[in-house]
A and B are shown apart, each in its own frame.
Chain A
């Protein structure tokens, strides 16, 4: 969990392979899922742990921080420190 600002996720549908990994990793206690079986994109995520971005096999999830700034996440960026 983090103390970051809430974020709004954006799924690049052209690259999404509907694998469901983003939903599987999501730690939200309540379902946080879109009608297309991806992470929800129509409401803010107040946990902002970014695990959904980290697990995506094709790096097609990005987010907007809801304090107004925009964070672009190119391939692999946003991943946690590397450890086994």
Chain B
């Protein structure tokens, strides 16, 4: 078997104004022809920098030392011109964000043809044919039209497909994929991974898959290397690593991931008869105006289109959906950060729309929120202590300064930080620490309900596990209710008592969490669950995936809400909205056609 890439004793250092940073500390690794090597690690572990160094793409302040051989050539001895010949031709890279890695002002066909022209000298009709052929191979629908479009006109999934097509144009022997699916929804992620696996089979391309997601590794890779703080801590075949991890860190990574196929530890909620629900929504809608033209002024679409649920004290309601499903808008509507156009939100039985501005502000004492981006949701010019004290200053203005400081210190300790964090600024803290600050700010005034809007999505798995544990502890201690919004099904399953699945602003299925995950009924729910990679290669290889026709359609498409009920389109009832049907106690499912008719052939 030929060796494609051989890295020996690689060191990468960055010189910064704060001193030199040793990002990669003597790493050895190799990639054989046709194999898929997974590189796993958390942020800052140096996993990306290793391979950036390998292809000569380090930042201007980076220095690489060691030996890197690509197809027998020493990469450190090559001139920039020689490196350029190799990059894009023999080795190609795909990055996490497909929008920023495509040139915004160039049409897809021009970007693709440029690669062919530079490396192969192919141009004109021949180049057009190759480009079209590759777009079809990455299964883009309507490929001919896509060639003439600009990147901003395409969805994230389509852009990533184009990136892959672009990378594969010259038939490289090595494809380096750096978190290729992290920014994508699960169903799209599944598609992209399928395409990559197929390309590897058909073209015998080696793949280096850099990811933080053990599930993706289990689905795709032959061999894994686990990286931690610039070192490889463990290396082995996928089966060995998942079955018998020898290192503490690997075991911790595996344990931190919530798994869809394993029992969860969540105390069931005891129903208290006659208790009023804490929060109840009835058929709420949020509509946004679309910029119309001179002739059609009042164009609007419903980001949230008639959602009803009840939330009890101490309960966690999980809300899952892909991007554009309206789950964040739902949170903002409940928080009164965006106005609802229809429907009722009641708090402890009182209709919130009757509240005036002052009463809403008073209500916020009981209704707090934790946001996705922990750094961006903290005021950069306020110290941590001041940020956490804000709710107290607002809701308990008579509290003395020393009392307030004591409370801040106690809360900091409660969320696992020390009291000396109070004088620091948010930019000095890590993502996980900042998210704890966000949690501290949300709980300091003892609210009854906390809405977590993708609260753990930006965090590394080990930190995510800690934060989830913290949230659950707070729920037990204070009887908090949560609305837990996430695109990550395994996380939602781990923390929620009930789960609601959203699609384009509507509920497609809502049930007790165990019921929903054990007996998913709606085709969309089934598809979502089957798309989530499970961090266990044994289970992964045996799983049957459900593929439905079409992708997430644009909400402005008039038939979008009938994607799972195409029989109504055939009957020309375009205004028909699928109703929720209760198939068993507490298990609601939206009307749909049979799953066999929706499956992709």
The answer to whether A and B come from one shared complex is no
